[in-house]
Amino acid sequence: QITLKESGPTLVKPTQTLTLTCTFSGFSLFTTDVGVGWIRQPPGKALEWLALISWDDDKRYSPSLSSRLTITKGTSKNQVVLTMANMHPVDSATYFCAHTTRGAYGDFVDDFWGQGTLVTVSS
């Protein structure tokens, strides 16, 4: 059974760096064709993809946020860490991590999602 859970601060101040951890079970990030992605959703708004790290340590970032994002495998084998620098109030959102599987056609599918964690940016 694949499960994922996001953790991190619920409140950050403007200009601070946000660090979120995705802790997962039921799969290995060292298995071919497996990845972990991050997606966020401001209250009442649409999903927005942020980043993905795959089993071979390939990293992909949203072009509009790439200068602020870093995704890494955690020191623990069942964790992925996302950092977002220079947080603004507009970055307030629920942040989800997801297990992703690469299909035969090369794209990744977000097939299992965590429950999400709400982050508010305010002074």
Beta bridge partners of 11: 120
The rounded distance, in Å, linking the Cα atoms of 76 and 79 is: 6
114 binds other proteins per the rule CB under 8 A: yes
Token representation of residue 106? 């090369």
**Whose Cβ is closer to other proteins: residue 12's or residue 35's?**
35
**Whose Cβ is closer to other proteins: residue 114's or residue 121's?**
114
Comparing C-alpha atoms, which of 29, 33, 24, 18 is closest to residue 5?
24
13 Cβ neighbours under 8 A, 6+ residues apart? 87, 121, 122, 123
63 binds other proteins per the rule CB under 8 A: yes
Q: Which of 14, 88, 103, 118 binds other proteins (CB under 8 A)?
A: 103
**Whose Cβ is closer to other proteins: residue 16's or residue 49's?**
49
Q: Which of 43, 75, 105, 123 binds other proteins (CB under 8 A)?
A: 105
118 binds other proteins per the rule CB under 8 A: no
17 binds other proteins per the rule CB under 8 A: no
55 binds other proteins per the rule CB under 8 A: no
Comparing C-alpha atoms, which of 74, 73, 48 is closest to residue 61?
48
116 binds other proteins per the rule CB under 8 A: yes
